[in-house]
Structure 1
Amino acid sequence: MASSGQEKTEEPTSKKLEDTRKKGQVARSRDLATFAVLVGSSAGILIFGKEIAASVLDVCRRLLSLDEKDIFNPYSMFAVWDEALIELFPGLLKFFLLILLAAYVGSVLIGGYNFTWQAVGFKWSKMSPLAGIKRMFGMQAMVELIKSIAKVLVIGGLTFALLSTFFDDIMALSLMTNPEDIFASAEILAWTFFGICFSVIVIAAIDAPYQMWKHHKELKMTLQEVKDEYKNSEGDPRVKGRIRSLQYQAARRRMIAAVPTADVVVTNPTHFAVALKYDQAKFRAPVVVAKGADEVALYIRRLAEENKVPVLESPALARSIFYTTELDHPIPEQLFAAVAQVLAYVYQLNMFKKGKGKRPKNLAKDLPIPDDFRH
């Protein structure tokens, strides 16, 4: 007995469904397509039968009405055939277009429209005698045999019933005169054919759900197949985790190296810290060169103090920048006014330390931060 990991118990993934469609493997019911074509044909006879019968009658009259000039003219036969084709073409064209439409609808009714060159490609597996023997004696062959027997019984029985029903009308055709016999025979043929075609609906009603169920069952996957597909499409989770770890370490090293070059570090004071740098030649707004929470925030603050970068406490502004701005990105326009006050204070403080200005007033505790940017 196969282990649970090898049993096809899992639903097919979207990738499996897409791949099978590209290969042309979709649910199809030949009996449903046959039913659609037959019903389309019988409907075509019912709709266009009289028109075609009238055209045939005119052609017969023309072919059987030859005068002396037509008999001795070797080219008159070609002219008569041209007239016959022109007479028959409109009715037959509409009849065959209806059949073509029915064939298309019957084919795409289950499985939908799907065109792929892979389905018509040559496969050596189809040439294998062993594979052919397996198909001949497999479950699918048994199902097809049962369907064939059912078709013979159903269609044969219904055909006998219809012929019995129309027996008197068929025998009466010999007593009719032209052209009534042609139109009557066309009508009998149409309704008989229509009834026989609808007998196929019994087989199609069984085959279509069976083909959908069979196709879905064949597409089911084992648990291991699902895992392997996830690894192939999304990548091994352990590898992805390792890549994320390396990316985080590289970003952290780059961030730590940028702290000494920052203009100011805004803190929460201990839970959050963001380092800002404003280079008018490169950026139109201050850029977040480092940010972190908890231990990283404390490390950023310590680096700033070691490198004599001003550290200002503004909890609301620190949280707003931390949650709304990505690393190495400029701050949003909504925070321009608040950050401008911080940079102005830092500039005045630096000038005061150099002895070139007065000591600035303390930074305002309530900076202009929009409500939707407060966190």
Structure 2
Amino acid sequence: MAEQDLDRNEAATPYKLQKARDKGQVAKSPEVVSALVFTVAVGCFYWQGWDGLVSQFGYDQALLTQAARIEINPSTLWKLVGNMVRDSGLMLAPFLAAIMAAAIVGNVTQTGPILSADPIKPDFGRVNPANGFKKLLSMRTLFDAARAVVKLLLLGLVVYYALKALVPQFFHLAAMAPARLARTLVDDIAATGLKIALMLCLIAAVDWGYTRREFAKKMRMSRRELKDEHKNREGDPRIRARLRELRREALARSMAARKTASADVVLTNPTHYAVALRYVHGEMQSPQLVAKGAGSLAAAMREIAARHRIPVVQNPPLARELYRTVDVEQHVPPSLYAQVARILVWVFAMKKARDANLPGAAA
């Protein structure tokens, strides 16, 4: 049994994935968020970096120009600092909003919207030094460290080759005007940042695929877990079988009650079995079994027969034979014609006598 539980080779069911999602457990790669945020930041810098730098220089120039005319006192300094923070915030607002939007998109794109309080619930196991020491020496920690080293090496190579491509123009920087020098530095930084962003996107794509694969592997289920989940969701198979049996009995009871009322005679065991027969002269070649039942259903058929004044005849051998060999709505086989015919002749004669209000009706 334990080996079966450990043999988790079955893919996780949608129900288990939904339960894990409700607890905040989803496949999410932090590299995707980092790459998207860095790419958006570099894109904003490449698009409006120079214009933002010019605006900042213009603001600094105006501030320094008015510095000699500012009266130094606490109220003036607080007002000056407030204006500086406000103006700097307005200039940085589009950039910060773009980064925030990139972080949200990077998370929601991977997992969709998730509202779960489980990740922030108090868990004293997280602050247990023993657990922390075990995680420090675990294979997962070593793997994450090796992955970080590989990532650092790849980014280092990108930066190295990007700077190597810029080396020829370094010798001409000293001869440039200040404005052109600043513009050149902004363009070079943006170009290097875009190359780094491209490498981060490649790393994020690989990490995203690996993270999804590891999460699917972690969510795998054993055959016993699949059976237990099905049992918990659908109920015990024995209980469901019993419910189906009860529904069949209820349906059979209702059908027997409805069809027994149209019968001409009910044959009984006398208590264990009951079969209801119907015969229409000129329309049927032989009598038809319209209902049959055993136990409580047989008792219900006898009650219905009494309520509708249908004759009830005790003939155990014939009742058992009809119950065993003839299904509902089938006709009596030729081997039983003689026995059934004698009973029907007596039943029809009694009905005729009763209808004619003869003394024999009381019999």
TM-score (norm. length: structure 1): 0.65
1:174 and 1:82 map into 2 onto residues whose CA distance is 38
Distance 1:110 1:171 in 2: 46
Residue 118 of structure 2 aligns with which residue?
A: 118
In 1, the alpha carbon distance for the partners of 2:292 and 2:154 equals 81
Gaps of 5+ in 2: 265-274, 278-288, 311-328, 330-354, 358-363
d(CA) in 1 for partners of 2:68, 2:201: 54
Deviation at 1:180? 3.7
CA contact (8 A) 2:276 2:292 kept: no
Is residue 240 from structure 1 mapped to residue 240 from structure 2 by the alignment? Answer: yes
Structure 2 distance, partners of 1:77, 1:159, is 43
1:358 maps to none
Partner of 1:12: 12
Query: 2:33 is paired with a residue of what secondary structure?
Result: helix
Higher helix share: 2
Which residue type is aligned with residue 190 of structure 1?
A
Q: Give the C-alpha shift of residue 90 in structure 1.
A: 3.7
Partner residue, 2:324: none
SS at structure 1 position matched to 2:53: helix
8 Å CA contact 2:259–2:291 kept in 1: the answer is no
- Say yes or no: does 1:160 pair with 2:160: yes
Query: Gapped runs of 5+ residues in structure 1?
Result: 274-291, 311-321, 323-352, 356-375
Alignment of 1:352-363 (within 5 A): none
Q: Is the 8 A contact 1:10 1:222 kept in 2?
A: yes
1:317-364 deviation line (CA, Å, top 9, x unaligned):
xxxxx9xxxxxxxxxxxxxxxxxxxxxxxxxxxxxx699xxxxxxxxx
Give identity over the alignment, percent. Answer: 24
Q: Counterparts in 2 of 1:34-45, with a 5 A limit?
A: 34-45=34-45
Larger displacement relative to structure 2 (67-76 or 27-36): 67-76
Partners of 2:200 and 2:65 lie apart in 1 by 43
Deviation for aligned residue 1:136: 2.2
Mapping of residues 236-315 of structure 1, within 5 Å: 236-249=236-249, 295=292, 306-308=306-308
1:139 partnered with 2:139: yes
Residue aligning to 1:50: 50
Q: In the TM superposition, what whole-angstrom CA distance separates every residue of 1:34-82 from its partner, at most 9, and x where no partner exists?
A: 1111111101111221232122111210222136432556655445445
1:154-193 equivalent positions in 2, closer than 5 A: 154-169=154-169, 172-193=172-193
1:182 deviates by: 3.3
| RMSD over aligned Cα atoms | 3.9
For 2:356 and 2:52, how far apart are their aligned partners in 1? 107
Verify the 8 A CA contact 1:57 1:179 in the aligned structure 2. no
Residue aligning to 2:227: 227
Measure how far apart 1:250 and its partner are: 5.5
What is the distance in 2 between the residues matched to 1:41 and 1:136? 33
Match of 2:208 in 1: 208
Does residue 104 (structure 1) correspond to residue 116 (structure 2)? The answer is no
Give the total of aligned pairs.
292
1:27 aligns with 2:27: yes
Tell me the residue number matched to 1:70: 70
Q: Which moved more, 1:19-28 or 1:158-167?
A: 158-167
Per-residue deviation, 1:98: 1.1
Change beyond 3 A, Cα 1:53–1:308 = same
Bigger Cα displacement from structure 2, 224-233 vs 129-138:
129-138
Give the whole-Å Cα distance in 1 for the aligned partners of 2:204 and 2:356. 94
Q: Given that residues 170 and 185 in structure 1 are in contact (C-alpha distance below 8 angstroms), is that contact kept between their aligned partners in structure 2?
A: no
Amino acid across the alignment from 2:221: M
Q: Which amino acid aligns with 1:101?
A: A
| Kept in 2: contact 1:27–1:211 (CA 8 A) | yes
Q: CA deviation at 1:173?
A: 4.5
